[in-house]
Amino acid sequence: MQAVSRLMTPVHAARRGRPPKTLSQRDEGNRRRDLIQRAARLFREKGYAATSTRDIAASVGMHSGSPFYHFESKQFLLFTVMCDGMNQAKAKQSEVLAKMRLARVSPEQLLYGLIRHHLEILLGADKDFIPVMLYEYRSLDAGQQQVLADMQHDYEADWLPVLKKLHAQKRLHTSVKWARLLIFGALNWTVQWHTMREGVSQAKQLDTLARAALDLFIHPASPEVAAS
């Protein structure tokens, strides 16, 4: 996930003759990562337009002009947040799928796993990234939107075989095309209303929610249809 984002980053370390600093304790990658992390949180909490580059600089202890040493523009920082988020989400989803396939679980369990993981991405510890992508899309330029659209397409592609199987089994009574859009909608919208309760483990709360979603979308197996 780092690879892609670094590729897309115009590095300007060479610009405006600056001593290379030989990687002291605060090396460049860390500061850059800090900026991305804090920007993600601020963008999620206040929105992109309402967050100033000064807010971001202050939140990592920099002065107002310094973020522009790491990022050519505020928009590019937003784009980087989104790309990093997507790469991370896609990588984790692949892991989840690989594990389930080894365990030879049913299509229903596969869909549960995908839903559960997607909720983790939206509401879990790293929740600052994908929600920003979902809700600040229009702040990107056309080219950046295209890049992210392709990444989203890849991410959702993993869901299609599972949905197709469930549709073939008559456990999903909507075409795969509509089901995908509506299911992602229901999940993505949780960002708007879900808050973690105190005293219950986060994992359990996400389990419950994932189960509720699955039960809403997937019809019970009719007795004569065997699994897989």
Minimum distance from residue 142 beta carbon to DNA (Å): 16
> With contact defined as beta carbons under 8 Å apart, do 82 and 141 qualify?
no
**Residue 166 CB neighbours (<10 A):** 23
Minimum Å distance from CB 45 to DNA? 14
Residues 74-113 that bind DNA (CB under 7 A): 74-75
Q: Does 29 bind DNA (CB under 7 A)?
A: no
> Among positive and negative, which fits the CA dihedral 129, 133, 139, 141?
positive
Q: Based on CB atoms, which residue is closest to DNA, 77 or 179? A: 77
Which string of DSSP letters, residue by residue, matches 12-49?
-SSSS----TT--SS-HHHHHHHHHHHHHHHHHHH-ST
> How far apart, in whole angstroms, are the C-alpha atoms of residue 25 and residue 223?
63
Q: Which of 51, 80, 144, 169 binds DNA (CB under 7 A)?
A: 51
Residues binding DNA: what is the number (CB under 7 A)?
A: 27
Nearer to DNA, 64 or 208 (CB): 64
By CB under 7 A, tell whether 52 contacts DNA: yes
Q: How far apart are CA 38 and CA 16, in angstroms?
A: 26
Asked if 156 touches DNA (CB under 7 A), the answer is: no
Cβ-contact 69, 77 below 8 angstroms:
no
By a kind-dependent CB cut-off of 5 to 8 A, residue 62 interacts, out of a second copy, DNA, none, with: DNA
Residue 17 in the binding site for DNA (CB under 7 A): yes
Least Cα distance to 8 among 177, 105, 140 occurs for 140
Comparing CB distances to a second copy, the nearer of 17 and 220 is 220
Token readout for 72 is 């050519």
Q: Segment contacting DNA (CB under 7 A): 47-55, 127-135, 171-179, 215-223?
A: 47-55
Taking CB under 7 A as the rule, does residue 26 contact DNA? yes
What are the residues binding DNA (CB under 7 A)? 16-18, 26, 28, 31-32, 35, 51-55, 57, 61-66, 68-70, 72-75
